């Protein structure tokens, strides 16, 4: 792995075209600086400088390497500044992944409002993605916080906290006979046409929903699929079947659709978890702290 200090020395020599002037600029003696440059060339297997007396001129390889070094050192400086800002006063950038349910339940709004109150200068980057993709993004450091439908598995080496459990509801077109009643029976839903999440989008989620229906005493006939809850509601409004959606969608239910309670045997709850890396950034920690344990 390249040594950033060694790269810093190389840039100083390249810009000064002289070991003596670079050493004066860096406030070090010439001998160790010269040794560092020679060691860097040996490590890379490249000749970075053409030496003519005391004057050093970059080779073609040296010119290319200088550009890369400047970019790397600049990125390193930005990273250090970001970390210092976060620790010192809450400035910096926070990348947040979320499932759509986190919006409709108000969980995401609550977290972002609390964060902005504590750290008004923070830059927030939002990324809509499914739970599994968020776990991957957290492990790779691409996001700092995730709002997911399930807790992180022990193998993920992530920290998670349950922040919402919300009942599901049955979306019914207003012209359907069931819309005029209260809670439908399991018998009334057995074999009825339903709109479900595509299996390929979330195999585990779809299987869990189907199992919950069967435990409640009815088997949906899945006629159509919709990747997003808002689209499922539109299909319900078009009269294509029932849909099981989170109760929090009541704020965006289109005209022509009603939300009813599901049969009493349906006990599955929608869950939202906030997930961070075990060693979370200061800003990620503040998001987690906005949801006290218990």
Domain 93-163+271-289 falls under CATH 3.40.190.10: yes
∠ CA 92-98-104, rounded to 5° = 120
Query: Which residues contact residue 17 at a Cβ distance below 8 angstroms, ignoring those fewer than 6 apart?
Result: 55, 56, 57
Task: Report pLDDT for 146.
Answer: 95
What tens-digit pLDDT sequence spans the chain (294 residues)? 788 999 999 999 999 999 999 999 999 999 999 999 999 999 999 999 998 777 889 999 999 999 999 989 888 887 776 666 656 555 678 899 999 889 988 899 999 998 888 888 888 999 999 898 999 999 888 899 999 999 988 777 888 899 999 999 999 999 999 998 789 999 999 999 999 989 888 888 899 999 999 999 999 999 999 988 889 999 999 999 999 999 989 888 999 999 999 999 999 999 999 999 887 777 888 888 888 765
Task: Report pLDDT for 285.
Answer: 82
Task: Report pLDDT for 85.
Answer: 61
Pair 275, 144: CB distance under 8 Å: no
The dihedral formed by the CA atoms of 18, 19, 21 and 23, expressed in degrees to the nearest 10: 160
Q: How many other C-beta atoms are found inside a 10 Å radius of the C-beta of residue 19?
A: 20
DSSP string, 84-113: HHHHHHS-SEEEEEE-HHHHHTSHHHHHHH
First to last CA, the chain: 45
Looking at CATH, the fold of the domain delimited by 165-268 is given as D-Maltodextrin-Binding Protein; domain 2 (3.40.190)
Task: Report pLDDT for 188.
Answer: 95
Name the strand (E) or helix (H) holding 160.
strand 158-173
Task: Report pLDDT for 263.
Answer: 95
Q: How far apart are CA 120 and CA 91, in angstroms?
A: 8
Q: How far apart are CA 35 and CA 233, in angstroms?
A: 70
> CATH 3.40.190.290 residue ranges in the chain?
165-268
Token pair of 91, please? Answer: 């400035």
Burial class (CB in 10 A: 0-12, 13-18, 19+), 66: middle
> CATH 3.40.190.10 residue ranges in the chain?
93-163+271-289
Task: Report pLDDT for 90.
Answer: 57
∠ CA 95-98-103, rounded to 5° = 120
Looking at CATH, the fold of the domain delimited by 4-89 is given as Arc Repressor Mutant, subunit A (1.10.10)
């Amino acid at each position: 792995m390249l040594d950033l200090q060694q790269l810093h020395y190389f840039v100083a020599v390249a810009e000064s075209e002289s070991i003596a002037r670079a050493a004066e600029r860096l406030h070090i003696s010439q001998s160790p600086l010269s040794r560092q440059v020679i060691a860097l060339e040996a490590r890379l297997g490249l000749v970075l400088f053409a030496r003519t007396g005391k004057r050093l001129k970059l080779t073609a390889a040296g010119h290319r390497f200088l550009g890369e070094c400047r970019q790397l050192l600049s990125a390193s400086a930005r990273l250090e500044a970001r970390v210092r800002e976060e620790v010192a006063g809450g400035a910096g950038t926070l990348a947040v992944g979320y499932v759509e349910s986190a919006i409709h339940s108000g969980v995401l709004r609550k977290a972002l409002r609390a964060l902005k109150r504590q750290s008004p200068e923070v830059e927030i980057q939002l990324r809509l993605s499914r739970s599994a993709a968020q776990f991957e993004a957290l492990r790779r450091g691409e996001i700092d916080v995730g709002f997911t439908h399930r807790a992180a598995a022990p193998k993920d080496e992530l920290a998670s906290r349950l922040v919402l459990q919300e009942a599901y509801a049955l979306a019914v077109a207003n012209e359907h006979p069931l819309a005029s009643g209260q809670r439908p029976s399991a018998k009334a839903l057995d074999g009825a046409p339903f709109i479900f999440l595509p299996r390929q989008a979330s195999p585990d989620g779809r299987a869990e929903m189907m199992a919950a229906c069967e435990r409640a005493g009815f088997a949906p006939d899945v006629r159509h699929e919709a990747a997003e809850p808002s689209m499922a509601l539109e299909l319900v409004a078009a009269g294509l079947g029932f849909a099981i959606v989170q109760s929090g969608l009541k704020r965006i239910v289109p005209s022509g659709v009603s939300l009813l309670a599901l049969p009493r045997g349906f006990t599955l709850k929608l869950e939202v978890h906030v997930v961070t890396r075990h060693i979370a950034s200061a800003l990620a920690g503040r998001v987690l702290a906005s949801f006290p344990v218990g």
